[in-house]
């Protein structure tokens, strides 16, 4: 959209170096807070701080929330607690909680003590109690709430008061006298039924809501399923606590899918191309070293088989195909399970059914692959029946084993509440490498005995 050019960046850097506050303010006024945050990434810290000080409090608060967590921490590091508190005053409670959660306990308390609006400070303290990965951890308390027995004019009057502090309104929540959520008032009713005597006659009753302790994954699936832009959060007896907005859910969906993709690729912490060489190496070396250990293990397994390898060197030629195929099969099987668990297609209660299905898929794949290799070796490795049979039979067993392991491991992890994506990547690849070799060594030893290797 508002993609800026190298020239624009140079222009901004010039303005800063010339200390031209007036022009800087004018340029900033034309940018959306999200664009200012993007600009910051390409500036040095002192340049960013210079611009930041020129922003009005509300924009400054918005920019702060648009920054990456690391950049945000850098920017507020030198800010006095009173100033951070002022910015928090301009934030929705859910954003305020995100910001405060990054700080350590002492800093939190100091900042909270500086917030003038006691009600907001109280809300933030309440919200901090919820687990980050639940609906409660994602909700904010800014919302418009009306009573089901009010008339529309009464509602509009109340809404006018409540709307003052709010950036945007997407839904109006309707509660009973007991504070329990009764319905949602679509804004179009304001326009189409301006004089109804009781809100409950035009509200949508029984709205989709979540309990505060619902895991975020489930919340996201509900947003997608019911096409929501906001969802009310209730306590265990149905009293309205807050609301979750779709933008926060979208961020979480992207984060979760990125995390799965990274886990599946053997990257152990959240990095992208912006991170330093050192941070990237640190995120990538652990699985590589685990891979080296498994390679050493493979060499030990093959070492026990060295006499046979020496006698029938042709056996060595098929070492790569055994491990490679096992790895590929396992990654496919686990990726399908991980994805289906993530998008709600597969549920844990279908565990046995899923394994049964995978066994059939495995049988089909194993048969095709073994026959192909058997045919190839029959033609191109004539007279070497021990090797030909060893490779074909090993491939069959390896594909079956890898298919089953590829589905059992992520399902088991899900059952243990561990992210199943952990199973999709190097883990499954490495286990299949090792097991594949063991199977090959064992099968080949058998055939060599039969055919007299």
Tokens (6 digits) for 34: 């999200």
| Segment 375 to 404, residues that bind its own copies, using CB under 8 A | 376, 399
Please list, residue by residue across 79-112, b when 16 or more beta carbons sit within 10 angstroms of its beta carbon and e when fewer do.
bebeebbbbbbbbbbbbbbbbbeebeeeebeebb
**317 touches its own copies (CB under 8 A):** yes
Which residues from 163-182 bind its own copies, rule CB under 8 A? 163-164, 166, 168-170
Residues 432, 401: Cα–Cα separation, whole Å: 8
DSSP 89: H
Q: Two tokens at 146?
A: 């009306």
- Return the DSSP state at 173: E
CA angle 364, 422, 246 (to 5 degrees): 105
Q: Is 237 in the site for its own copies (CB under 8 A)?
A: no
Total number of residues that touch its own copies (CB under 8 A): 120
For position 303 contacting its own copies by CB under 8 A, the verdict is yes
Does 63 help bind its own copies (rule: CB under 8 A)? no
197 sits near its own copies (criterion: CB under 8 A): no
Residue with tokens 């029959």: 378
List 144's β-bridge partners, or say none.
172
Q: Are 142 and 93 in contact (CB under 8 A)?
A: yes
Of 34, 79, 145, 404, which lies in the binding site for its own copies, with binding defined by CB under 8 A?
Answer: 34
Binding of its own copies at residue 205 (CB under 8 A)? no
Give Cα separations from 2 to 38, 43, 216 (angstroms): 10, 17, 31
Residues 9, 45, 82, 285: which binds its own copies (CB under 8 A)?
Answer: 285
Q: Please, where are the H alpha helices in 102-206?
A: 105-114, 118-127, 135-138, 152-163, 187-192
Binding-site member from 314, 378, 385, 404 for its own copies (CB under 8 A): 314
Which CB atom, from 244 or from 264, has the smaller least distance to its own copies? 264
Near its own copies by CB under 8 A: residue from 43, 79, 196, 246: 246
> Shortest CA distance to 242 belongs to which of 252, 251, 231, 253?
231
Site for its own copies, residues 93 to 132, rule: CB under 8 A: none
- Of residues 30 and 106, the one with the C-beta less far from its own copies: 30
**Span from 15-23, 195-203, 233-241, 279-287 in contact with its own copies (CB under 8 A):** 279-287
Q: Which of residues 333-362 bind its own copies (CB under 8 A)?
A: 334-340, 343, 345-346, 350, 354, 357, 360-361
Q: Which residue's CB is nearer to its own copies, number 129 or number 201? A: 201
- Exactly one of 201, 254, 415, 449 binds its own copies (CB under 8 A); which one? 254
Q: Is the dihedral of CA 177, 179, 181, 183 positive or negative?
A: positive
Cβ-based nearer residue to its own copies, 7 or 116: 7
Nearer Cβ to its own copies, position 105 or 383?
383
437 makes contact with its own copies (CB under 8 A): yes
* Count of other CB atoms within 10 angstroms of residue 140: 23
Q: Is 427 in the site for its own copies (CB under 8 A)?
A: no
Closest separation in Å from C-beta 299 to its own copies: 4
Which of 225, 239, 415, 449 binds its own copies (CB under 8 A)? It is 225
Does position 187 bind its own copies by CB under 8 A? Answer: yes
Structure tokens at 429: 């690849």
**What is the distance between the alpha carbons of residues 14 and 363, in angstroms, rounded to a whole number?**
67
């Amino acid at each position: 959209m508002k993609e800026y050019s190298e020239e624009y960046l140079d222009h901004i850097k010039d303005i800063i170096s010339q200390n031209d506050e007036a022009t800087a303010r004018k340029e900033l006024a034309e940018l959306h807070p999200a664009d200012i945050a993007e600009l910051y990434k390409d500036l040095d810290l002192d340049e960013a701080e210079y611009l930041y000080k020129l922003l009005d409090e509300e924009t400054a608060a918005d920019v702060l929330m648009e920054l990456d967590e690391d950049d945000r921490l850098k920017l507020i590091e030198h800010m006095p607690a009173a100033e951070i508190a002022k910015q928090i005053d301009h934030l929705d409670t859910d954003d305020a909680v995100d910001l405060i959660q990054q700080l350590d306990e002492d800093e939190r308390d100091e900042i909270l003590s500086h917030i003038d609006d006691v009600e907001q400070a109280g809300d933030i303290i309440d919200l901090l109690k919820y687990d980050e990965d639940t609906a409660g951890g994602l909700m904010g308390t800014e919302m418009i709430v009306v009573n089901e027995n009010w008339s529309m004019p009464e509602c509009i009057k109340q809404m006018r008061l409540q709307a003052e502090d709010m950036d945007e309104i997407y839904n109006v929540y309707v509660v009973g006298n007991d504070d329990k959520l009764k319905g949602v008032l679509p804004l179009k009713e304001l326009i189409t039924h301006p004089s109804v005597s009781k809100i409950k006659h035009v509200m949508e009753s029984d709205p989709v809501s979540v309990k505060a302790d619902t895991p975020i994954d489930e919340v996201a699936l509900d947003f997608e399923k019911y096409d929501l832009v906001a969802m009310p959060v209730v306590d265990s007896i149905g009293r309205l606590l807050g609301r979750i907005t779709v933008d926060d859910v979208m961020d979480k969906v992207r984060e979760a899918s990125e995390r799965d993709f990274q886990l599946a690729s053997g990257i152990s912490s959240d990095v992208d191309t912006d991170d330093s060489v050192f941070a990237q190496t640190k995120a990538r070396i652990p699985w590589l070293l685990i891979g080296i250990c498994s390679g050493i293990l493979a060499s030990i397994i093959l070492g026990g088989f060295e006499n046979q390898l020496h006698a029938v060197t042709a056996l060595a030629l098929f070492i790569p195909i055994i491990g490679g195929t096992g790895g590929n099969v396992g990654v496919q099987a686990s990726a399908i399970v991980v994805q289906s668990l993530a998008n709600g297609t597969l549920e844990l209660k279908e565990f046995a059914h899923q394994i049964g299905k995978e066994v059939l898929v495995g049988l089909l794949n194993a048969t095709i692959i073994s026959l192909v290799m058997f045919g190839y070796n029959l033609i191109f490795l004539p007279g070497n029946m021990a090797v030909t049979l060893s490779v074909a039979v090993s491939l069959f067993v390896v594909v079956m084993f890898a298919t089953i392991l590829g589905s059992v491991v992520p399902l088991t992890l899900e059952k243990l509440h561990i992210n199943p994506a952990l199973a999709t990547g190097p883990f499954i690849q490495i286990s299949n490498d090792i097991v594949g070799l063991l199977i090959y060594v064992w099968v080949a030893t058998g055939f060599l005995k039969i055919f007299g290797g």
